[in-house]
Amino acid sequence: MKIKIFTCPECRYRKFESLSALNIHMGKAHTVSYKIIMKNNQPYVMQKKRSSFQYLKQPKNKKS
């Protein structure tokens, strides 16, 4: 059995046993806009999808 160790590409010293733990660390500690996935036994960077937003319009002050 072969054990894979994943290293954080941002801080280069933290090592993780699973890919999901690495993605959680990167999302919380480094606030990056991507996550790493494995495809055909090769690592790939997948961009996180961000939803768009709009500011709420300020209600007009009515003079009474």
For residues 21-49, average pLDDT: 84
User: How do 34-39 and 6-7 pair as beta strands?
Assistant: unpaired
Single pTM value for the model:
0.63
The answer to whether position 54 is within a domain reads no
Considering the chain, what is the average pLDDT of its residues? 79
The answer to whether position 57 is within a domain reads no
The answer to whether position 37 is within a domain reads yes
The answer to whether position 55 is within a domain reads no
Domain span at 10: 6-47
The answer to whether position 52 is within a domain reads no
Our count of domains for the chain comes to 1
pLDDT value, residue 52 = 61
For residues 17-33, average pLDDT: 86
The Cα-based distances of 17 to 5, 23, 56, 57 in angstroms read 5, 11, 43, 47
The answer to whether position 20 is within a domain reads yes
Q: How confident is the model at residue 33 (pLDDT cuts 50, 70, 90)?
A: confident
